[in-house]
Amino acid sequence: MLSVDAAGAQLAQHISNRLFDAHRGVFVAHDAHPVWVRLAAKPGDVIAFGNDSFSGDERAKREVAALLSWAEKNDLQPIHFGADPDAGYSWAAVLRPAERRTSILTESGRELLRRQAVDQLWRAFVGDASEAQGDPIGFRALQQAIAEAAMTREFKAG
């Protein structure tokens, strides 16, 4: 597990305050993001987060471990990590593509990385269970739609 740093904790606090209705999500940082994103990440960094009881739920810790394993396999370096200092409920990780990948990553390549990271978070949280085992696929689709809407709303607001 990563050690917590101040930039990661501050990012997790902002995510808790601004994106709390998103259980988990991933976005790629860019210049148009609000200042609270740009303080922790450079354009092209992958930011993953969860509002899922990091301090108290082993599934949230499993998410972060799966994310870090995936990041290593995909040449993404963990730059910042933290949990919100108030309750430790929300967490955030900033992952930076290796320099050799940064120049070749296109918009669609960054979107693919984002989608793969989201998939890693969900697989770690709910497992690879089938719909017959409690309909996690329907739950996941609904929660992903909520997360996408929350991020769109926040980032369009500036």
Write out the residue range of the structural domain in which residue 124 sits.
6-157
Tell me if 1 is assigned to some domain.
no
Give the contacts of 117 (CB within 8 A, at least 6 positions apart). 26, 46, 48, 67, 70, 71, 95
Tell me if 64 is assigned to some domain.
yes
Tell me if 26 is assigned to some domain.
yes
pLDDT of residue 140: 83
pLDDT of residue 132: 44
Of the pLDDT bands very low, low, confident and very high (cuts 50, 70, 90), residue 138 is confident
Q: Which residue has the tokens 């922790």?
A: 40
pTM across the whole model = 0.89
Contact of 92 with 12, CB cutoff 8 Å: yes
36-77 pLDDT tens trace: 999 999 999 999 999 999 999 898 999 999 999 999 999 999
Contact of 43 with 29, CB cutoff 8 Å: yes
Give the contacts of 77 (CB within 8 A, at least 6 positions apart). 71, 95, 96, 97, 98
Tell me if 87 is assigned to some domain.
yes
Q: What domain count does the chain have?
A: 1
Tell me if 25 is assigned to some domain.
yes
- Interval 19-45 mean pLDDT: 93
